[in-house]
Structure formats: C-alpha cells, structure tokens
Amino acid sequence: MKYAYYPGCSLQESAHEFDVSVRAVMDRLGVELVEIPDWTCCGASAAEPVSRLMNYALPARNLALAEKELAGLDVLAPCSACYLNLLKVNREVVGDKSLHGQVNEALDACGLAYGGGVRVRHILDVLVNDVGVEAIGAVVGQNLNGMRVAPYYGCQILRPYEVFDDPRKPLSMDNVLTAMGAKIHPWEMGARCCGASLMVTHPEVAMHSVEAILGAAEGADAIATVCPLCQMNLEAYQHDSAAGGHHVPVLYLTQLLGLAFGLEEPAVLLEKNMSLNGSMRAGIRARAWRHEPPGGTEEAGGT
C-alpha cells in the first residue's frame, strides 16, 4: 500500500505530533507514504469567505501536483479540513465545465493543471478500508486494556459528503478503537462541531460547543480525534472556566495506535498534548498501555 501524503500546514506546526504519529503508525502497518513534493496550503476554512475561486484553486494545486508527480496514487490526508477541501475539488469542480476551466486557468499561473483523476482519502478511511481493523488488531493485540475512549469524529469527514462512514451514526473510529482493546465511552457528541475557526472569530460562541463536548466526555480516559483543529479546540481551553472546567485528555487516534503498538511516548510526541499533565500521563500509562499482562484494569478509577 502506497499513498501520496498531504500532511497540511497544521501538521508541520502545532499539530506536529499528528504528523509524527501518522508516519510511525503507517510504517508499522506496512503502508508507504510519499509526501507530495512542494505541496502548499489547502485554504482551510479561510478561503471560502474570501474568494470562491481561491477556495478551489488552493486545494486543486495540490491534487495537480499529485497527479503529475505521483500518478496513480491516492492522496492521503490526515487532517479533516484538508481532506474535505481536497475532496471538494473532485465533487464540485470536476464535472462543472466552466468552474473546472477557471480553476485550471488559475493553476496555469503556476504551470499546473488538474485533470480530475486523483482519489482523496482520509486516514480513517485508509485504516478501516485498506488496512482493515483485523490487520490492526493483529498488530496491536488488545493492548489498550479496556481504556475508555470517546471517539470524536467532528464534521468534515462525515459531512457534507457521505464517503466512508454513516454521517448519522459513524462507526469507523469505534471499530479501530475496539480492535485495539479500548472500550467505547458512550456519548452523543462524536459528530458535534468543535467550533472550528469560530473559536478565533467568536470564542464566546464556540466555547458552548466545547463545553458540551467536554462535559459529555466526563468519565472517559481520553477523547480520540483525527483533526488538528478539533484537537486544538478541545484541549487548549480546558483551563478556561467558560469551557466548564472539564479535564479530559485529548489524543490523536494515531497516538493511541502508536502506544498500543508498543511505541514509546516520545515516538508519538505525547509531551505535546496540552491536555495531559505528568500525573495523567502516568495514570493512563499505568492502566491503559502497559505491555505487561493485564489485570485489575477495570477497577482503576478516574484521573
């Protein structure tokens, strides 16, 4: 298995631990990632309010690069926002002759053109449908020992396009977690919006969503995320009283996978998680990802 890898800007910046854990985990699973040479920003959620054409041209540039330099490979994007922006090009531009023409006219300014032939995949899609939960389970061997995890899907991998999961009742991450031996924290907040960039433009509004999500996660050992913006919004304001004073560790799914594979904490950059303090880390380590034979995991209490 081989993919054209699009890390996206966040993964080079504050979400470096997502990039590092994705690469480490994929390597363990025998998946080869070839970074798209000279990729640039997908526009995130900022391009749409500024320019309709830019909103398509920015992600299309990266697909054009993949099509030209890494022909035949699917693009793999770990960030949900990047994933949707790239996918939108295939869904909204390709097939619309006039828009496709405009996008290619713009791309011509950097010597590129996008034909429309690159499939866009999110990491969760690849984990569940290409690697497969059985294969993951075989490598991990139930190592999460009943750690109670709240799967947080967020918006963009579920909506507006139904691609690899049921947007009304998503299960893909639940299945990966169960294959690792985790217990699923029952909650209704897995597909609720984290507030996205509203947390920057109107934090007083976005904080309501964060409060609702964190409140519902009480009792879980961790929330698992697959998007750097969700991750940031859910963990960065836990000190803020407006977020309700709930303290729940927020980890990338790939960090959990890495730990379950037996990778050491530095290999998945656990120290970068702002929602984890030293004692939480030790507490979770002691009962969730120790690699000695399990025993008494059930009665271990909250953090």
Where on the chain is the footprint of another protein (CB under 8 A)? 9-10, 12-14, 16, 38-41, 43-55, 57-58, 61, 102, 105-110, 155-156, 158-160, 167, 192-193, 195-198, 200-203, 205-206, 208-209, 236-237, 239, 271-274
CB of 91 to another protein, least distance (A): 11
For residues 14 and 142, which CB has a smaller minimum distance to another protein in the complex? Answer: 14
Please name the amino acid found at residue 117.
G
CB 64 within 8 A of CB 113: yes
H runs (alpha helix) in the chain: 16-28, 47-50, 52-69, 80-88, 97-107, 123-125, 133-140, 172-179, 198-201, 203-216, 228-236, 253-260, 278-287
CB of 229 to another protein, least distance (A): 10
Question: Nearest 5°: phi and psi at 77?
Answer: -120, 120
Report the alpha-carbon distance of residue 206 to residue 240 in Å, rounded. Answer: 13
72: left (phi over 0), alpha (psi -120 to 50) or beta: left
For residues 32 and 166, which CB has a smaller minimum distance to another protein in the complex? Answer: 166
Q: In what order do the strands lie in the sheet with 222-225?
A: 183-184, 148-151, 222-225, 250-252
CB of 303 to another protein, least distance (A): 18
For residues 126 and 158, which CB has a smaller minimum distance to another protein in the complex? Answer: 158
CB of 98 to another protein, least distance (A): 11
CB of 217 to another protein, least distance (A): 16
Please name the amino acid found at residue 10.
S
For residues 30 and 245, which CB has a smaller minimum distance to another protein in the complex? Answer: 245
For residues 46 and 300, which CB has a smaller minimum distance to another protein in the complex? Answer: 46
Report the alpha-carbon distance of residue 275 to residue 23 in Å, rounded. Answer: 22
CB of 114 to another protein, least distance (A): 13
For residues 97 and 134, which CB has a smaller minimum distance to another protein in the complex? Answer: 97
